[in-house]
Amino acid sequence: MPVSPAHSARPPYANAAPTFLHRHRAMARLPHGRTSLLKAAALAFAMTGGWLYGAAPWVAVFWARVFAFWRDALGLPARVVLTRYHGAFDLTLAIPHLELSAGEPALTLRLLTAAVAGALLVVSFALPPRFTPAAYYLRALIFIQGTALTYFFLFPGAFPYTLGGYLKSMTATSFFVLSLVPLVLGLTHYLLDFSLPRKIALTFLIMGHLTIFIPLKYTLQAALLHYGSMLFMPVLYLIFGLLLDVLVFIALYGWGMSRRARRPHAGTTPGAAAHDVHALYDVPARPSPARRA
């Protein structure tokens, strides 16, 4: 039975590459009107202003009390110091931090740390393939700790940093990173089709989590460096410093983005919404089986 031209015609992407390049979805732009952009900007600036001029002073008091409580609980010979930072628009922030000292590592501690690092390196190569991410993570830790060991072996007594200066700069930096959360969400989450209460709730969730997490993290680091030594500062700074704050933000932001939006597109039916997606990505809609028959 002869095959009609209608049956022999096949879409260009069935068994062969198309003759033109589709725009990748990573290059696609969501349609935004001026109203949605203005709403996102207004919410971001309102949340930032409320944080800086309303909540931030109370958070500083909370951090000071957390530092004081765990200082006494851990027996740290430290002082809780407030450092004032002045900004534009008569903004003044008093950020607390722990002030204490830490010594350089003794030879016994350096040798013990080198032995543990060598054992972990062997373990990283013995892990099964499904633990490959953990193996690379261990090797990164070992590499950073190995550079610190090499430095203290070659230049004992020449480490240029102090524990008090480290805690002061890291606590202040984490505070300013926390203050940027509404602006970052204003460029991302606030532009999407989520309800206003959900946007505000995600902002409160991220900032609230970091508000509790940051002082606890630096109190623990202060105890580790004081009772240990400055040998572990590079690892704490590079792996367990600001990187952890960013990972907390990414994790909670990803959870918030996984929630279903209010609607695919305002005023569209499911079929029209699917057509809009194809138009957005410049991908031609696949013909239905009835049309190909």
Tens-binned pLDDT, residue by residue, of the chain (293 aa)? 555 555 555 555 555 555 556 666 656 566 667 888 899 999 999 999 999 999 999 999 999 999 999 999 999 999 999 999 988 888 889 999 999 999 889 999 999 999 999 999 999 999 999 999 999 999 999 999 999 999 999 998 889 999 999 999 999 999 999 999 999 999 989 988 888 999 999 999 999 999 999 999 999 999 999 999 999 999 999 999 999 999 999 999 999 888 766 655 444 444 444 444 444 444 444 555 554 44
**Shared domain check, 138 and 73:** no
Total number of domains constituting the chain: 2
**Shared domain check, 215 and 113:** no
Spell out the residues 6+ positions from residue 44 whose beta carbon is closer than 8 angstroms to its own.
Answer: 182, 183, 185, 186, 187, 190
Cα–Cα distances (Å) from 8 to 4, 14, 15, 174, 292, in that order, read 6, 12, 13, 64, 9
C-beta separation of 60 from 94 below 8 A = yes
Q: What confidence score (pLDDT) does residue 268 get?
A: 43
Structure tokens at 293: 């028959």
Question: How many angstroms separate the CA atoms of 237 and 184, rounded?
Answer: 23
pLDDT, tens only, 148-189: 999 999 998 889 999 999 999 999 999 999 999 999 999 989
Question: How many angstroms separate the CA atoms of 164 and 97, rounded?
Answer: 8
Question: How many angstroms separate the CA atoms of 232 and 145, rounded?
Answer: 7
Task: Give the helix/strand (H/E) hosting 79.
Answer: strand 79-86
**Shared domain check, 174 and 97:** yes
- Does any domain span residue 213? yes
Per DSSP (E only), the strands in the chain are 79-86, 92-99
**Shared domain check, 255 and 123:** no
Q: What confidence score (pLDDT) does residue 285 get?
A: 47
**Shared domain check, 184 and 243:** yes
Q: Which residues of 94-122 are buried (b: 16+ CB within 10 A; e: fewer)?
A: ebbbbbbebeebeeeebeebeeebeeebe
**Shared domain check, 256 and 195:** yes
Domain containing residue 202:
32-102+159-260
**Shared domain check, 52 and 93:** yes
What residue has token string 């704490």? Answer: 236
> What's the residue count for the chain?
293
**Shared domain check, 111 and 90:** no
